[in-house]
Amino acid sequence: MKEIAREISVLKRRILEYADSKGIKKYEIYQNTGISNGVLSQKGGLSEDNVMRFLSHYSDLSPEWLLTGKGAMLRGQSAPEVAPPPSEPAFPGFIEEIKSLSVKVGRLEAENEHLRTAIEAKQREIEAQQREIEAQRREIEARQKEIEDKERQIKLMRIDHLKKEEPDIHTQYLEPAHAPLPPENPVESAELLKSQPQEALFTP
């Protein structure tokens, strides 16, 4: 990567310079950004779409340095004391394009942050709804168990009530086989035995 052709544009040379300082290979840039293979080695400039792709993935690279060569290469890095030699502009009006791209990058970052916050809020809302549904399910199960217990109690009460109202079949419908015998008088029984002949007593 240190052999940079003179014919390629300033933007490509700066991208390759950044990649060389970070130890990034060309094929990694193509894979990570979606830029077509071989673009960085071709003559000519770099499209706005490819610049946006590169800046979106390698967010530590300073858009100002990439587009103008001013300031530090990396964001949050102090600018070198000796400014690099001025380089020719990539094409007329490119400074305005730089500013527009920087604004777009900032807007995209803000939109991504907003979407991330919205997604996290929605996830928390879904989790809260799931907890509420689970609580309602447990409450329904408890109510069903309570209803079942009451139904069993009612059933037992009905059985007890029917048992109390049911007449005693043995006492209601069972008649005595014969009239009860009068109580036996020992004296009368003895006199009756004396009055009967002895043969009658042993008559089968």
- What pLDDT was estimated at residue 5? 42
DSSP 137-170: HHHHHHHHHHHHHHHHHHHHHHHHHHHHHS--HH
Mean pLDDT, residues 8-27 taken together: 88
- What pLDDT was estimated at residue 197? 56
Per the model's pLDDT, the better-predicted residue between 192 and 134 turns out to be 134
What values do phi and psi take at 8, rounded to 5? -75, 165
Mean pLDDT lowest among 37-46, 67-76, 179-188: 179-188
Mean pLDDT, residues 33-54 taken together: 85
> Is 90 exceeded by the pLDDT of residue 70?
no
Number of residues written out for the chain: 204
Domain chopping of the chain, boundaries: 10-91
Residue 95 Cα distances to 27, 46, 80, 92, angstroms: 29, 15, 21, 8
Q: Where does residue 132 rank: exposed (0-12), middle (13-18), buried (19+ CB within 10 A)?
A: exposed
Mean pLDDT lowest among 19-28, 91-100, 146-155: 91-100
Confidence of residue 142 (pLDDT cuts 50, 70, 90): very high
State how far the Cα of 167 lies from the Cα of 169, in Å rounded to an integer.
6
Burial call 108-125: b when 16+ CB within 10 Å, e when fewer: eeeeeeeeeeeeeeeeee
pTM of the entire predicted model? 0.37
Per the model's pLDDT, the better-predicted residue between 26 and 78 turns out to be 26
Mean pLDDT, the chain, whole residue set: 77
State how far the Cα of 197 lies from the Cα of 193, in Å rounded to an integer.
8
State how far the Cα of 27 lies from the Cα of 39, in Å rounded to an integer.
11
| Options 1.10.260, 1.10.3470, 3.30.70, 2.60.40; CATH of 10-91 | 1.10.260
- What pLDDT was estimated at residue 133? 94
- What pLDDT was estimated at residue 136? 93
Confidence of residue 4 (pLDDT cuts 50, 70, 90): very low
- What pLDDT was estimated at residue 141? 92
- As beta bridge partners, residue 8 has 44
